[in-house]
Amino acid sequence: MNAIRVLIADDEPLVRGGLSLIVNAADDLTVIAEAASGPEALAQTDRAQPDVVLLDIQMPGSDGIAVTRELHARPHTPRIVIVTTFGLDTYLHQALDAGADGFILKDAPAELIQQAIRSAHRGDAVLSPRMTRTLI
């Protein structure tokens, strides 16, 4: 079985490192690239061709919402899961409107982040439980 190939885009090196540890701890997931800004996330997506992109909202250059829109304007769009500290309903609606497949808060347990990647890869929508209540 081929591992799900993941790109992590976050401007904080510590967060990228933590997410990388969480992703690589699962046998069926692997981090293939990282990015620290919106433009770098776009370039790394073109270069690495990930299956799933874990994307922060607030990054230098262009934010995660703009990156999501840009990726959806291209052929072969990867699945996109927003991973953010900010559980604001405006961010949730903007992310979903831009085409994100999921919206997970950074305080989610490791297992939920791994499951979100798998679910998004299958084409399912993914929301942190707290954000589901907000959406409803």
Report residue 111 as tokens.
Answer: 């297992």
For 14-53, what is each residue's pLDDT tens digit? 999 999 999 999 999 999 999 999 999 999 999 999 999 9
What is the reported pLDDT for 112?
92
Distance of alpha carbon 21 from alpha carbon 68, whole angstroms: 24
Domain-wise residue ranges, the chain? 4-135
9 or 108: which leads in pLDDT: 9
What is the reported pLDDT for 93?
84
Classify residue 118 by burial, with Cβ atoms within 10 Å: 0-12, 13-18, 19+. middle
Measured over the CA atoms of residue 116, residue 101, residue 16 and residue 48, the dihedral's sign is positive
Mapped onto helix, strand or coil, the DSSP state of residue 76 is coil
Numbers of helices and strands, H then E, in the chain? 6, 6
Give the count of alpha carbons within 13 A of 77, CB side only. 17
For 93-129, what is each residue's pLDDT tens digit? 898 899 999 999 888 999 999 999 999 999 998 887 6
Distances (CA, A) of 90 to 7, 77, 131: 25, 23, 11
The CATH class given to the 4-135 domain equals alpha beta
Report residue 59 as tokens.
Answer: 């990054």
Global model pTM greater than 0.85: yes
